[in-house]
Amino acid sequence: MVSYEEIFERNKQWVAKMTRNDADYFEKLAKDQNPDYLYIGCSDSRVPANEIMGLEPGELFVHRNVANLVNNTDLNVMACINYAVRYLHVKHIIVCGHYNCGGVKAAMTPVDLGILNPWLRTIRDVYRLHQDELNKITDESKRYNRLVELNVQEQCINVIKIASVQKAYIEKKYPIVHGWVFDMHTGILQDLHIDFEKILKDIQQIYDLTGK
Ligand SMILES: [Zn+2]
């Protein structure tokens, strides 16, 4: 384990590294942020958002929670998305899940997990929506992995249901919503190629909040 005191030593080393070639690095960083990307991912410590995307401080607006969920009554994620769309004008919103997700596994375990029950129920709902496909997959780890992908897809749909996202897209043609999965066995990010335009068109039959 890295000691508590060691963290502050490492911080000083990091500051020295960042200012080695640019003495004003932090002055510039402090001025403003203008990220093009909003990343919604899992809290899992093995999936560090900036690092896996190769992005520097200031380039990525981040929201993380257990199992990368976009629940429509979660003020935290809703505030984050609204701020990113309305004030930061992000061009892309990414929902990124990962294989071996403990949250997804826990959701499918038949035990009482206390306060996690209502949170993880969203994943059981994803399973129910796709149970015909999932029940056909006999290999358990493959079934979990597919559930991880379908969970990402459903959370992308939840992002597209949001009024600020729909309105911004009609006016500016962005943000585009993407679904990704990170494979920690290889370090590779996989684009699920969510058909954003089609999902938007389909769900606006019911969830149209644009007032147009
Ligand atoms: Zn996870």
Say whether 46 is catalytic. yes
What is the Å distance from ligand 1's center to 121 Cα? 15
Give this prediction's pTM. Answer: 0.95
What is the Å distance from ligand 1's center to 41 Cα? 8
Indicate which residue of 63, 80, 96, 98 is catalytic.
Answer: 98
Q: Is the pLDDT of residue 112 over 90?
A: yes
pLDDT of residue 149: 98
What is the Å distance from ligand 1's center to 43 Cα? 6
C-alpha to C-alpha distance for 38 and 130, rounded to whole angstroms: 27
C-alpha to C-alpha distance for 163 and 85, rounded to whole angstroms: 10
H/E segment holding residue 37? strand 37-42
For range 51-77, the mean pLDDT: 97
Say whether 96 is catalytic. no
Per-residue pLDDT band for 47 (boundaries 50, 70, 90) equals very high
What is the Å distance from ligand 1's center to 102 Cα? 5
By the 8 A CB rule, do 27 and 21 touch?
Answer: no
Alpha helices in 21-110 (DSSP H): 25-31, 49-53, 75-86, 102-107
For range 42-58, the mean pLDDT: 96
Residue type for position 15: V
pLDDT of residue 205: 86
pLDDT of residue 207: 83
Indicate which residue of 42, 80, 96, 156 is catalytic.
Answer: 42
What is the Å distance from ligand 1's center to 76 Cα? 18
- State the sign of the Cα–Cα–Cα–Cα dihedral 121, 150, 172, 92: positive
Per-residue pLDDT band for 115 (boundaries 50, 70, 90) equals very high
pLDDT of residue 109: 87
Say whether 139 is catalytic. no
**Structure-block tokens of residue 87:** 């004030």
Say whether 64 is catalytic. no
Say whether 193 is catalytic. no
By the 8 A CB rule, do 59 and 35 touch?
Answer: yes
Q: Is the pLDDT of residue 212 over 80?
A: no
What is the Å distance from ligand 1's center to 129 Cα? 20
C-alpha to C-alpha distance for 208 and 114, rounded to whole angstroms: 35
Place of tokens 């007032």: 211
Place of tokens 């093009």: 36
pLDDT of residue 209: 82
Indicate which residue of 63, 80, 96, 101 is catalytic.
Answer: 101
